[in-house]
Every structure is written in C-alpha cells, then in structure tokens.
Amino acid sequence: MAGLLFGTAGIPFSTWPRTTIDGINRVAELGLNCMELEFVQGVYLKEEDAIAVADAARKAGIRLSAHAPYFLNFNAHEPRKLRASQGYLLKAARIASICGAESVVFHAGFYLGDPPQETYQTIKKYLAEVVTKMKEEDIRLLLRPEVSGKGSQFGSLEEILELCTKLEGLAPCIDFAHLHARNGRFNSYPEFTSVLEQVRERLGDDALKSLHLHISGIEFGARGERRHLELQNSDLQYNELLRALRDYDAGGNVICESPNQEEDALLLKASYNALSPNN
C-alpha cells in the first residue's frame, strides 16, 4: 500500500465484539486501511494474542501502529519514574513488534519547571537508552514522539524534529490538532505546508513518504488542548490540511482521534480522494 492510508485510533466504535482482531476486521470492512493499537492505559495484549493480531492484520491488509501508555515521562525527577517510563515504552515496543506494527507513538514528557533545553537533553538521554535496548533485542520498529497539545508538555514541532534528527530509530508523530491547540496557529494551508517543509528540511524527502499523523477537531484554551472534537464541530481546516498533504505527495498513516473516529476517518479519506490536481 502506498500513499496516505486512513484509519482509527483503536478499535472502531461500531465493532462487536470489541476485540482487537474484530476491530482490525471492522476497519477493513469500512474500507479503511490502518489502525493504531491503543496501549494508552497499559499494554493489554499478551505475546500469544499479539501473534494472532499480526496474522489478522496481514490477512485483512491493515497496517498497524501502536500508542504507548500515557503515563510516560522521560523528564521525571525521580529515577524510579524514569526507569518505569523506559520499561513501559519497551514493553509497548516488544508487543507492537510481535503484532507487526511499524511504529509506536508516545508522549515524551513534561517540563516540570525545567528549562526546555534541559528537558530536551534529559529526554534524549533516557530515550537513547531505550533505543539501544531495542537494538539489542532486535526490535525493528520506529519510536514516534508525538507533538503535544499543551505548553506544559515537551513536544513542540521543533523539539520533536530535533529529537528525531539526533536519535536513530525515531520519527515524528505529527498531531495537527495538538499543533493547533498548542498555540492557536497552524490552521491554514500556508501553515500546514510550512510543517511539511520543516519535516522535509530536517528529515529528508523519505520522511514525507512515511508520515504518521493524528487528525481530529480540538477544543483548546490558553493552556492548550481540552478535548478532541468531531471534525465538523471544530475549527480545524481539515480540507486545507488534506490539500497540503496531497500537494506534497505525502504518504503514511492518517489516524483519526475524533470522538466519532470511524465516521471522521471515512470523511477524511473521501475528502482526500475527492481532491483533484487543480484543487
């Protein structure tokens, strides 16, 4: 599968019974092409289950990724929390790899009052140890630090791209809702193309062919994101974003995190496919 693939963050709501394998099959039934395994509250699959998930995804033609637990903080001030964060991310990577996932998305941490550059160095140090351990275990997938939606969280676009240029095995997860909520900007065609330009300049043309994107509507305030919204009940200019992605010949996964995820994923796919070269 080439080009942009569209799918859901987790098991589609219309799935019954609500198992991971049934979710994969439901994604295929809907005409979508990818799904993000949501390990956000913990890695819920055992190794034998992960093997069955990989087989189901292969048969259904669905590309998988995963999202690591929310409770990671690679800038924690307590050593035990740092080690726990490394362990959580490694466990997610191990199981995701068995599932056949190509990448694991994660939130890198919080500033906790530390200067941004100091936070960056701490996060880089402890992530580098995870990357080394993954190499030792021959875990072959990408770790994708995600652009965050609050100013208190590490994860501006610049920070994420810098981290990905310095550590092997990392690539960005660009959450356009978070990017918009972080400062109220990045909601127009020129701003969307500026993001893609930065990716190309920092990481090369190949990075534009293997993007991992989160898209949804977003409610936000002075401190950043509050909650995800359905696309048509938000101000996100998703058609302009899709046009920018089409104009840059972008490829990769588009994961919809809307409260109405499968319907909005289908809306994104249909809207993208409706774009003509002259739009």
Boundaries of domain holding 210: 4-274
Q: How many CB atoms lie within 10 A of CB 49?
A: 16
The CATH number of the domain holding residue 85 is 3.20.20.150
Confidence band (pLDDT; 50, 70, 90) for 276? low
Look at 16-20, 51-55, 217-221, 275-279 and tell me which has the smallest mean pLDDT: 275-279
176 touches 229 (CB < 8 A)? no
Residue 166 lies in a domain: yes
Encode pLDDT of 84-114 as tens digits: 999 999 999 999 999 999 999 999 999 999 9
Angle between helices 238-247 and 261-274 (to 10 degrees): 50
What's the whole-number mean pLDDT along residues 196-207? Answer: 96
Strands (E), 94-171: 103-106, 142-145
Region 31-48: mean pLDDT is 97
CA distances from residue 71 to 81, 152, 171, 242 in whole angstroms, order as listed: 10, 15, 20, 31
Side-chain-side CA neighbours of residue 236 (13 Å) = 29
**pLDDT band, very low/low/confident/very high, at 278 (cuts 50, 70, 90):** low
Asked if the model's pLDDT at residue 234 lies above 50, the reply is: yes
| pLDDT per residue as tens digits for the range 108-138 | 999 999 999 999 999 999 999 999 999 999 9
CA distance 37 to 169: 20
pLDDT of residue 49: 97
Count how many domains the chain has. Answer: 1
- Residue 217 binned pLDDT confidence (cut-offs 50, 70, 90): very high
% of residues, the chain, pLDDT over 70: 98
Mean pLDDT of the chain: 96
Q: How many residues does the chain have?
A: 279
C-alpha 222/C-alpha 151 separation (Å) is: 9
Residue 13 pLDDT greater than 50, yes or no: yes
- Give yes or no for residue 1 having a pLDDT over 50: no
pLDDT of the residue at 159: 98
Residue 131 counted as domain residue: yes
Does residue 3 have a pLDDT over 90? no
Per the domain annotation, does 169 fall within a domain? yes
Q: For residues 6 and 238, is the Cβ–Cβ distance under 8 A?
A: no
pLDDT of 262 reads 96
- Residue 240 pLDDT greater than 90, yes or no: yes
Cα dihedral value 44, 230, 26, 34, nearest 10: -70
Tell me the average pLDDT across 56-79.
97
pLDDT at 50: 98
Whether the pLDDT of residue 277 is over 80: the answer is no
Residue at 89 is within a domain: yes
- Residue 72 counted as domain residue: yes
Q: Residue 279: inside a domain, yes or no?
A: no
